[in-house]
Structure 1
Amino acid sequence: MAPLPSIFKKAALHVLILTSLYVLALIALTNPWLQRHVIYVHKIHTTWWHDINKPEQFGFAKNQITPFNFSTPDGETIYAWHVMPLGLYAKHESEILQQPSGCTGDITKTKAFRLLKDDPDSRLIINFHGNAGTVAQGWRTDSYRTISDGSSSNIHILAIDYRGFGYSTGFPTEDGVITDGVAAVDWALQVAKVPSDRIVILGQSLGTAVTAGVVERFAKRGIDFAGVVLVAGFTSMPDLLTEYSIAGYIPLLSPLKSHPGLQKYLTSYVVDTWESAARLANVVRLSKKIRLFIIHAKDDHEIPWTQSEGLFAAAANATTDGGLDVTLFEKMKARSTIDMGEGAFISTWKASENKIIREEILAYGHHSRVLTYAPVALAALKAFGLDEGGVLPL
């Protein structure tokens, strides 16, 4: 058995090495290029052995999904999936099966597109995914099925890969990714001719920040949507990095909790700040009508559910001139909160018939799997006004 002092020396050496590596990593991450690779993780995915131009490999019916590309105003090519609702697909299966498979050169020539464009009752969910991977990553394909297979037969989905992700060109930056999201919505409005009151914007994780940025741009144009759904969101990137753990295991700045000044100094180097709370507040102020749904799971080990509390507070406070002090806000929120058990709850903030904000904190769902849970699909149905009891009953 080694002498006790020798054990202490080895332990101290290990701590010194780990601390040195941690400090060096933080210094390296002040480089914008490397920082963006770490934040967006756009080069890492789990679909290397699959062809995402063949969505049936992920369990979809043949030609139920149409892969296609569209262009952004700054010249990038964005890869997208148009997911048909299964019930609608079933009605037109024989004709759809006769069409060529794979990434189409002109989506407007497809039967699926015509069913989206020509049906006055069609609805569209525009989906903005989180960091890493592609439109076919992880639980994302299951989430499309949850909505397209188990809901109304006229709800279509448009899912995109941001620049630098999957088959899309370019390199991700905050402004660039928001531009991609705006281009996706413009495609829906101008090419597919789906009016904004039949569109729901849904984002998960990083996609919630994209959603906030995109919806703010349209709010400035005076365009509102049927609804906005944010799943596992965060208030801002600098704020998130003080709590975030990569894959739920590798902390970034949380080890420095006892040194808030140092945390603040390091977050000042964040190049893409993604100020979602401020953007959501601006959207609420600018919009004539908004149905905002904020959903988070308590067992999310990557982004703490309290981040969604911050989003809800920012959005709700924006419904009143000057906002509310913390005590009054908490009292008003408590009056409209339903306890769902096991720490789960639903809070509804109804400023008027046209401005309603709903926060749902689930007991379970983790970070990504929650996308496949019923409350997410239910939020879309409520946003479209398809719930039997009316939209967002208190």
Structure 2
Amino acid sequence: MKRHDASQKKVSGQAPEGRGRQSGSFTPHSLIYKKKKRPSSRLALYLKTSALALLCIYISVPFIIRLFPALLAKVVYLNILKVPFSVDLSNPKVILNHTTNFYLTTEDGITVGVWHTLPASRWEEAKYKDQVWYEEALSDVNPVIIYLHGNGGTRAVDHRVQLVKVLSAAGFHVLSLDYRGYADSTGEPTEEGITMDSVYLYEWVKARSRGTPVCIWGHSLGTGVATNAARKLQEKGSAVDVVILESPYTNIREAGAYHPFGRIYHSFPGFEYFFLDTFALNNIVFPNDENVKLLNAPILILHAEDDAVVPSFMAKKLHDIALKSQNSRGVKLVLFRADLDYEHENIYKDPKLPEIIWDFLNDI
């Protein structure tokens, strides 16, 4: 019996049972440890994968742009962004008083949309008036400004509308143009094409203004359009009365190099080849620096010192070039202090802006 009992104890002895308990007591800790470790491993894998994907994109973009240069043109001409989406461009009075919408068909058959905002002093007269009346109003004593906007959005973008309100209150007619391919205008934008649209509108206005000064005002990309148009008109024997450049660049190549997107790739090997040289493949130049050398129209340059899109040194450069030109009849640079926070689009907020414009017009 003892042997039998011993045999039973050996089979069901305490030592194996104890080892089993020790193993059992270790396993939960092991599982807990693994469970704690697993999320951090997944996070690390996710971060590595994301970093690798971003690196691949970063490296691929220059090659894609060089292989398909038309993509860079889409970035320069952001006409696909027809913002704000909620505005009915055919009914501008919803956001701009005493304003009418009309369309012009250029010499090459392109239809462009235009808003004509009257000087605020004439708002009562404008009630219930038609397009013919607005055209005749261009011949009053109030100067006219043709506003050429930047590369994205439409004539209804808020900072553009706010500037038009300021200019209207200051006593100007303002005609806001959407280039071909933008907003409700037909066609596709090219440098030559949008320059042609601006020249056509200037000549249309000049034929109706009967001697009233007509100014071309360009903002950002529109400064290149403005000087292109002024140069073209001058070559045709019709020098522009005044050119106003808001946040201008020297040329599109240098603007691209200092643009926030360009700065991301500034240290990329072959940056000039992949990006800057590609502008030329699309016939995108906008040579403000070359144009101001030749213009004999008065030029007013406005720029904010805290502009992060187009650095203010470009405005200073253009000013110096224009001053050295023997053709210029008057050049002035106005820099707005960085602490005013006007940046690239908000010079309209300066309370002295109307005074600056009128002083310049009265001095020429």
Q: Same fold (TM over 0.5)?
A: yes
Percent identity reads 21
Determine the structure 2 residue equivalent to 1:82. Answer: 116
Does the aligned pair in 2 maintain the 1:236–1:277 contact within 8 Å? yes
How do 1:81-160 and structure 2 match up within 5 A?
81-90=115-124, 92=125, 96-99=126-129, 107=131, 109=132, 111-117=133-139, 119=140, 121-149=141-169, 151-152=170-171, 155-160=172-177
Q: Determine which of 204, 207, 211 is the counterpart of 1:187.
A: 204
How many angstroms apart in 1 are the aligned matches of 2:314 and 2:107?
Answer: 33
Deviation sequence 1:27-80 (CA, Å, 0-9, x none): 33332432222111111133211212222221x33xx11100111111100100
Question: What is the CA distance between 1:14 and its match in structure 2?
Answer: 4.0
Q: Which one of the candidate residues 299, 305, 317 is aligned to 1:298?
A: 305
Counterparts of 1:138-287 in structure 2, within 5 Å, are 138-149=158-169, 151-152=170-171, 155-190=172-207, 192-195=208-211, 198-245=213-260, 251=261, 253-258=262-267, 261-270=270-279, 271=282, 272-283=284-295, 287=296
Q: Structure 1 residue runs of 4+, over 6 Å off?
A: 1-10
SS of the residue 2:315 aligns to: helix
Distance 2:166 2:88 in 1: 22
Deviation at 1:231, TM superposition (A): 0.5
Counterparts of 2:234 and 2:73 in 1: how far apart (Å)? 27
Work out which of the two has the higher radius of gyration on C-alpha atoms and give 1 or 2: 2
1:311 to 288, 306, 318: 318
SS at match of 1:294: strand
Q: 1:375 to 1:71 in 2, by over 3 A?
A: farther
**What SS class does the counterpart of residue 84 from structure 2 fall into?**
coil
SS at match of 1:355: coil
Give, in whole Å, the separation in 1 of the partners of 2:184 and 2:238: 30
- State the alpha-carbon separation in 2 of the partners of residues 85 and 301 from structure 1: 32
* Distance verdict in 2 for CA 1:115–1:99, change over 3 Å: closer
Secondary structure at the counterpart of residue 298 of structure 2: strand
Instruction: Using the TM superposition, give the Cα deviation of residue 382 of structure 1 relative to its aligned residue in structure 2, in angstroms.
Output: 2.8
How far 1:312 sits from its partner (Å)? 1.5
Q: Contact between 1:226 and 1:383, CA under 8 Å: does it hold in 2? A: no
- Structure 2 unaligned spans of 5+: 1-35
The answer to whether the aligner puts 1:36 opposite 2:66 as a matched pair is no
- State the TM-score, normalizing by the size of structure 2: 0.80
Q: Which runs of 5+ in 1 are unaligned?
A: 101-106, 246-250, 321-353, 386-390
Q: Secondary structure at the match of 1:268?
A: helix
Report deviation, 1:173.
0.5
Aligned counterparts of 1:26 and 1:171: Cα–Cα separation in 2: 24
Distance 2:160 2:229 in 1: 20
Matched residue of 2:250: which SS?
A: coil
8 Å CA contact 1:125–1:201 kept in 2: the answer is yes
Do the aligned partners of 2:206 and 2:214 also contact (CA within 8 Å) in 1? no
SS in 1 for 2:52: helix
CA distance in 2, matches of 1:230, 1:298: 15
Distance 1:238 1:15, change over 3 A: farther
The aligned residue for residue 57 of structure 1 is: 94
Between stretches 29-38 and 40-49, larger displacement belongs to 29-38
| Worse-matched range after superposition: 77-86 or 307-316 | 307-316
Cα distance, 1:294 vs. partner?
Answer: 1.0
| Deviations 1:166-217, CA, capped at 9 Å, x for gaps | 1100000110010011011111122x1443x611111100110100100111
> 1:375 offset after TM fit, Å?
4.9
- The one-letter code matched in structure 1 to 2:85 is W
TM-score by length of 1: 0.74
Q: 2:344 matched to which residue of 1?
A: 367
Alignment root-mean-square deviation, CA: 2.6
Q: How many residues align?
A: 321
| Structure-to-structure mapping, 1:10-25, within 5 angstroms | 13-25=49-61
SS in 1 for 2:344: coil
Which of the pair is proportionally richer in helix? Answer: 2
CA distance in structure 1 between the partners assigned to 2:300 and 2:115 by the alignment = 24
* Code of the aligned partner of 1:269: T
The alpha-carbon distance between structure 1 residues 310 and 9, as it changes in their structure 2 partners (threshold 3 A), is farther
